[in-house]
C-alpha cells in the first residue's frame, strides 16, 4: 500500500500567528520584504544622508567665497564673520541630520536582527527531526547568531555608509558646473571609474565573503561537538586530537579572512582618488590661468573634490560589510528554505483521542537512499492496551513508536490513530495527546517545577507535586535546598540518571496523554526504586494506550501484547507465555 498524500494547508513547517510573511525567493528579495514594513526609516536615512552631504559641500564653497573676499582690493573683511556663522549653523544642522541618519540606520539594523532571529527560530522549531538529525548544531548556531549579526552590521554601518557616500559622490557633479561647465568632467570620470572598480571589487569579494561565513560555520560546528561531547573527549584522553582538529578549522577561517583582507588591501578606488584629485586641481588651475574662474572658485572646486575622500575610504569597509551581510542572509535563507516533509495541518482533526493505534503495511527510511528502518509492519492496538516492544539493538523499536506522533513520517503505508491517518490530525493536537519518554532524557536548565510543567504551561503547584509523587520523584526533590525551585544544570547534568528519568515520567504524567510511550525509560533506575516506578507506570497505564520498549522481564510480563522486532519487521506477536513457546527470536532475547 502506498502512502496517502495529505495536502498541507500551510507551508511545511510550524508557523506562529501574526508573523510577517517574507519573500524567500532569494536573499535580496528576502531582505527587501523585511524592509517594506519600515520604509519610513529608509526615508529618514535618505533625508539625513542627502542633507549631511549637501551641508558638507557648503563648507568648501563658503571658504572659496571667503578667499575671494580677502583677495579683493580692498579686502571685504566685513563679510568674513558672516561666512563663519554660515559654516557654524550649517554644520550644527548637519550634525543633527547625521545623528538622525546614524540612529535610523542602527534602529533599522536592530529591527532586522530581531525579526530575522524570530523568523529563523520559528522555522527551526517547525523542521522535522530528519532535518535536525542531518543539520550540525554548531553550524545552525553560527547562522542564528553570527550570520544574523552580520545582517545588522550590513545596515549599520554598511548600507548607512554606502548611502551616505553615494550622496558625497553626487554633490560635486551637481555643484561643480556652477564654477565652469567643463569642471563636471572630472567628477563624472570619477563616478564612472569608481563604480566600475567597486563592481570589480565586489565581484571578487562576494565569493570569499561566502567562504568566510562557511568556514566560521565549520569552526563553530567543531566547537559545539567538542563541548557537547566533552565527557567522551576527556574519558578517552583525546584532548590533543580535538585541539588539532579545531586548529585546522580555525586555520581555514583565518585563511579565508586573510584572503578577504588581501582583496580589501588592493582597493583600487584609493588610487583613483589620488589621480582624480590631481587631475581636477590641474584642470581648475588651467581655467584660472585663462581667466575663466577666480582663485576662490579654484579653492571651492578643490574642496568639492575632497568630498570624494569620504566615500572612497568608507567604502573599503562598507562594501565588505554589505557583502558579508548578503552572504549571511543567503546562509540563513538556505536554512529556512530547507524543505521538510512535516506539515502542521492546522485545519486537521483536533478532537479528543481514544488511543486506538493501527499500522498498515508501514515502511520508513530516514533518507530516501538508505535501507528501511521499518519494513512492511502491520498490527492493531486497542485503546487502553499495554504493548511491550522487544528486540535486539538496531531492530527499529524506537523508529516504530516515533511514527505515531509524527516525529517522523512514514515512507509507505499508514499509521492510524482512532481510525484517522496521523497526517490528517492537527499536529499540535496529535502530539499533545501522545507522550514519549526516551532513554536519553533532555531536561532544560530551569527549575525542577518548570521542567515538570514543560508540557502543560500554567500547571498549578498541586498538579506538579501530584505528578512528581506519581513518578516517585517527590522525595528526592524535597532533599534539594530549594525543592521544586531548584535550578538544574543544562541537560540535567546535576542529577543522576534515575532522577532525570523520574522527572521525565512526572512531566509525562502531568500532561495526561492518551498514548504513552516509554522508550527504555527505567534503564537507569536502581532496583529499589524500580518497584515503585513499576507501580507508578502500571497505575498510569490504566485507561490509556501504553507502549513500553524494554528488556526488563518484570515490565514485559504484565503487557497485554508483545511485539518482537527483528531487522525492521514484526517477527512475532503474542503474550509472554505464548511467545516463550512459539518464538525463537523472543527466547533468544532472554537467553543472551
- Concatenating the DSSP letter of every residue in 235-288 gives HTT-HHHHHHHHHHHHHHHHHHHHHHHHHHHT-THHHHHHHHHHHHHHHHHHHH
State mean pLDDT over 540-544.
Answer: 76
pLDDT tens sequence across 68-124: 888 877 777 778 888 889 889 999 999 999 999 999 999 999 999 999 988 888 888
Confidence of residue 184 (pLDDT cuts 50, 70, 90): very high
pLDDT at 589 over 90: no
Q: Is the pLDDT of residue 469 over 80?
A: yes
Q: What share of the chain is helix, strand, coil (3-state, %, to 5)?
A: 65, 10, 25
Question: What's the average model confidence in pLDDT over 361-368?
Answer: 84
According to the model, what pLDDT value does residue 380 have? 93
Cα-based torsion angle of the residue sequence 155, 157, 158, 161 in order, rounded to the nearest 10 degrees = 120
Over range 495-499, report the average pLDDT.
Answer: 77
Q: Is 127 strand, coil or helix?
A: coil
Beta strand pairing call for 386-391 and 374-381: unpaired
pLDDT band at 157 (very low <50, low <70, confident <90, very high): confident
* Greatest pairwise CA separation for the chain in angstroms: 125
| 374-381 and 357-364 strand pairing | antiparallel
Residue 367 CB partners (closer than 8 Å, separation 6+)? 130
State residue 526's pLDDT score.
61
**pTM for the full model?**
0.70
437 phi and psi angles, rounded to 5 deg: -105, 115
Distances in Å between the alpha carbon of 80 and those of 92, 242, 323?
A: 19, 71, 46
Please give the average per-residue pLDDT across 294-299, as a whole number: 90
Residue of higher predicted confidence among 154 and 493: 154
Q: What is the pLDDT of residue 181?
A: 93
- Residue intervals in the chain for CATH 1.20.1560.10: 27-337
C-beta atoms surrounding 485 within 10 Å = 12
Q: Encode pLDDT of 246-260 as tens digits.
A: 888 888 889 988 988
What's the CA gap between 564 and 554, in Å, rounded? 16
pLDDT at 539 over 70: no
Average pLDDT in the chain: 83
Distance (Å, whole) CA 588 – CA 573: 15
If you average pLDDT over residues 375-384, what whole number do you get?
A: 92
Q: Determine the Cα–Cα distance for residues 178 and 160; give it in Å rounded to an integer.
A: 29
Share of the chain above pLDDT 70, in %: 90
Q: What is the pLDDT of residue 11?
A: 40
pLDDT at residue 529, rounded to an integer: 62
Name the superfamily (CATH) of residues 27-337: ABC transporter type 1, transmembrane domain (1.20.1560.10)
Q: At residue 493, does pLDDT exceed 70?
A: no
pLDDT band at 490 (very low <50, low <70, confident <90, very high): low
State the average pLDDT over residues 550-574: 85
- Quick check: 538 pLDDT over 80? no
Go through 144-169 and write b for each residue having 16 or more CB atoms within 10 A of its CB, e for each that does not. bebbbbbbbbbbbbbbbbbbbbbbbb
β-bridge pairing 420-421 and 412-417 = antiparallel
**550 pLDDT higher than 50:** yes
Count of alpha carbons within 13 angstroms of residue 253, beta-carbon side:
17
Top mean-pLDDT range of 1-5, 417-421, 428-432, 541-545: 417-421
pLDDT of 404 reads 92
Instruction: Report d(CA 516, CA 213) in Å as an integer.
Output: 43
pLDDT per residue over 10-34, tens digit each?
A: 344 455 454 567 888 888 899 998 8
Q: What is the pLDDT of residues 408-441, one digit of tens each?
A: 888 899 999 999 999 899 888 898 899 888 777 7
Evaluate whether 342 touches 406 at the Cβ level (below 8 Å): yes
Coil, strand or helix: which one is 487? Answer: strand
Calculate mean pLDDT across residues 262-280. 87
Q: What's the CA angle centered on 479, arms 478 and 481, to 5 degrees?
A: 90
- List strands edge to edge, sheet with 357-364: 374-381, 357-364, 412-417, 420-421
- The H or E element spanning position 163 is helix 160-175
Q: Which residue has the higher pLDDT, 9 or 121?
A: 121
Where does 455-498 show beta strands of DSSP type E?
none
Crossing angle for the helix pair 39-71 and 160-175, to the nearest 10 degrees: 40
CA 451 to chain centre: 24
Separation CA 579–CA 210 (nearest Å): 59
Contacts 24+ apart (CB under 8 A), 497-501: 497/441, 497/523, 497/524, 497/525, 498/524, 498/525, 498/526, 498/529, 499/473, 500/441, 500/443, 500/524, 501/437, 501/441, 501/525
Place of cell 573527549: 233
Nearest CA to 542 among 313, 383, 409, 334?
Answer: 383
**Count of other CB atoms within 10 angstroms of residue 92:** 11
Angle made by CA atoms 44, 46, 51, in degrees to the nearest 5: 95
Banded model confidence at residue 156, pLDDT cuts 50, 70, 90:
confident
pLDDT at 378: 93
Domain at 357-591, CATH homologous superfamily: P-loop containing nucleotide triphosphate hydrolases (3.40.50.300)
The C-alpha cell of 118 is what? 524570530
Is the pLDDT assigned to residue 309 strictly greater than 80? yes
Distance separating alpha carbons of residues 297 and 302, to the nearest angstrom:
8
Amino acid at each position: 500500500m502506498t502512502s496517502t498524500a495529505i495536502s498541507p494547508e500551510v507551508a511545511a513547517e510550524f508557523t506562529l500567528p501574526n508573523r510577517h510573511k517574507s519573500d524567500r525567493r532569494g536573499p535580496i528579495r528576502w531582505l527587501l520584504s523585511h524592509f517594506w514594513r519600515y520604509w519610513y526609516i529608509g526615508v529618514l536615512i535618505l533625508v539625513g544622508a542627502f542633507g549631511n552631504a549637501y551641508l558638507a559641500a557648503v563648507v568648501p564653497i563658503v571658504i572659496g567665497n571667503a578667499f575671494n573676499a580677502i583677495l579683493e582690493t580692498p579686502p571685504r573683511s566685513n563679510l568674513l564673520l558672516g561666512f563663519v556663522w554660515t559654516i557654524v549653523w550649517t554644520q550644527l544642522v548637519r550634525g543633527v541630520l547625521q545623528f538622525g541618519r546614524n540612529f535610523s540606520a542602527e534602529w533599522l539594523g536592530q529591527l532586522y536582527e530581531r525579526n530575522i532571529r524570530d523568523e529563523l527560530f520559528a522555522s527551526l522549531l517547525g523542521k522535522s527531526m530528519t532535518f535536525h538529525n542531518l543539520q550540525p548544531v554548531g553550524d545552525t548556531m553560527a547562522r542564528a547568531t553570527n550570520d544574523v549579526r552580520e545582517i545588522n552590521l550590513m545596515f549599520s554601518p554598511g548600507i548607512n555608509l554606502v548611502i551616505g557616500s553615494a550622496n558625497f559622490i553626487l554633490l560635486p557633479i551637481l555643484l561643480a558646473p556652477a564654477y565652469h561647465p567643463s569642471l563636471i568632467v572630472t567628477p563624472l570620470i570619477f563616478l564612472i571609474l569608481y563604480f566600475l572598480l567597486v563592481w570589480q571589487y565586489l565581484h571578487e569579494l562576494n565569493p570569499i565573503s561566502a567562504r568566510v561565513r562557511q568556514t566560521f560555520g565549520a569552526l563553530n560546528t567543531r566547537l559545539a561537538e567538542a563541548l557537547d561531547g566533552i565527557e567522551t573527549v576527556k574519558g578517552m584522553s583525546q584532548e590533543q586530537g580535538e585541539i588539532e582538529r579545531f586548529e585546522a578549522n580555525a586555520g581555514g577561517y583565518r585563511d579565508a579572512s586573510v584572503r578577504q583582507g588581501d582583496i580589501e588591501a588592493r582597493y583600487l578606488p584609493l588610487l583613483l582618488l589620488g589621480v582624480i584629485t590631481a587631475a581636477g586641481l590641474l584642470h581648475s588651475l588651467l581655467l584660472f590661468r585663462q581667466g575663466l574662474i577666480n582663485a576662490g572658485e579654484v579653492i571651492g572646486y578643490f574642496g568639492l573634490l575632497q568630498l570624494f575622500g569620504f566615500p572612497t575610504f568608507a567604502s573599503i569597509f562598507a562594501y565588505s560589510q554589505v557583502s558579508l551581510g548578503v552572504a549571511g542572509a543567503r546562509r540563513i535563507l538556505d536554512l529556512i528554505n530547507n524543505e521538510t516533509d512535516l506539515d502542521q495541518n492546522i485545519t486537521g482533526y483536533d478532537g479528543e483521542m481514544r488511543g486506538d493505534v493501527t499500522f498498515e503495511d508501514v515502511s520508513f527510511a530516514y533518507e530516501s537512499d538508505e535501507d528501511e528502518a521499518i519494513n512492511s509492519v502491520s498490527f492493531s492496538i486497542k485503546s487502553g492496551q499495554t504493548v511491550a516492544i522487544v528486540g535486539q539493538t538496531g531492530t527499529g523499536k524506537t523508529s516504530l513508536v516515533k511514527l505515531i506522533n509524527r516525529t517522523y513520517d512514514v515512507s509507505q503505508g499508514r499509521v492510524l490513530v482512532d481510525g484517522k491517518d496521523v497526517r490528517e490530525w492537527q499536529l499540535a493536537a496529535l502530539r499533545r495527546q501522545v507522550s514519549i519518554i526516551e532513554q536519553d532524557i533532555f531536561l532544560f536548565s530551569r527549575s525542577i517545577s518548570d521542567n515538570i510543567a514543560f508540557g502543560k504551561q500554567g500547571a498549578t503547584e498541586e498538579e506538579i507535586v501530584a505528578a512528581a509523587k506519581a513518578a516517585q520523584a517527590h522525595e528526592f526533590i524535597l532533599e534539594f535546598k530549594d525543592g521544586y525551585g531548584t535550578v538544574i544544570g543544562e541537560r540535567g547534568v546535576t542529577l543522576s540518571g534515575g532522577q532525570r528519568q523520574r522527572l521525565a515520567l512526572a512531566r509525562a504524567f502531568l500532561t495526561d496523554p492518551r498514548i504513552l510511550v516509554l522508550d527504555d525509560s527505567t534503564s537507569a533506575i536502581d532496583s529499589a526504586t524500580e518497584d515503585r516506578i513499576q507501580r507508578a507506570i502500571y497505575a498510569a497505564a490504566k485507561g490509556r494506550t501504553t507502549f513500553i520498549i524494554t528488556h526488563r522481564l518484570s515490565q514485559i510480563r504484565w503487557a497485554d501484547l508483545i511485539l518482537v522486532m527483528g531487522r525492521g519487521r514484526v517477527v512475532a506477536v503474542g503474550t509472554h507465555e505464548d511467545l516463550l513457546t512459539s518464538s525463537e527470536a523472543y527466547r533468544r532475547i532472554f537467553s543472551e
